[in-house]
Amino acid sequence: MRISYEDLEVGKTDEIGSHTFTREEIVRFAREFDPQPFHLSEAGGEASPFGGLIASGWHTCSVMMGMLVRSVMGESTSMGSPGIDDIRWIKPVRVGDTLTVKNTVLDKRVSTSRPDRGIVQLQWDGINQHGETVVTVRSTVIFGLRHPGAALPRAQ
């Protein structure tokens, strides 16, 4: 069954997956997309305030996005997103860290201009193996309604 707007419950949190970051993938992502010294080598990381090699925040967010698509969006009525509202990189992600991602529905409403779809506010939290939140992302996603009009108040 496809996930639609009606299936999303405000306040509900789901664990959507886990991922362990390897040195090779951290460096590979950095070479192509974020070639800052602390993402490229141990030496570059040791010379930085981070004290060692760390994953790019964009790498972390990309991994989280992949999990979200595979667990929720891929089998849904998602119509895409108008954008990310907030990203916070709270703690560095290091080689060997395992992030577990939780997705929470913060708010939702049916679009007034296009009542066949709803606007959903989500928060994704990346939590490391020590139980520390290392990254949060707040986003808006548009989902199609399974039954357009059913979620709207009826005129009296």
The structure's pTM equals: 0.89
pLDDT at 122: 97
Average pLDDT over residues 8-16: 97
Asked if residues 128 and 98 have their Cβ atoms less than 8 Å apart, the reply is yes
pLDDT at 156: 39
CA 1, 78, 11, 156 dihedral sign is negative
If phi over 0 gives left and psi between -120 and 50 gives alpha, with beta otherwise, what is residue 121? Answer: beta
pLDDT at 84: 96
DSSP, collapsed to helix, strand or coil, labels residue 140 as: strand
- Residue 155 pLDDT level (bands cut at 50, 70, 90): very low
The candidate with the shortest Cα–Cα distance to 11, out of 87, 120, 115, is 120
> pLDDT by residue (tens digit) across 132-152?
999 999 999 999 999 887 655
> pLDDT by residue (tens digit) across 22-77?
999 999 999 999 999 999 999 999 999 999 999 999 999 999 999 999 998 888 99
Domains of the chain (ranges plus CATH)?
A: 5-144 (3.10.129.10)
The candidate with the shortest Cα–Cα distance to 95, out of 48, 146, 45, 144, is 45
> pLDDT by residue (tens digit) across 88-126?
999 999 999 999 999 999 999 999 999 999 999 999 999
Buried b (16+ CB within 10 A) or exposed e, 38-57: bbbeeebbeebeeeebbbbb
pLDDT at 150: 65
Distance, CA of 106 to CA of 103 (rounded, Å): 9
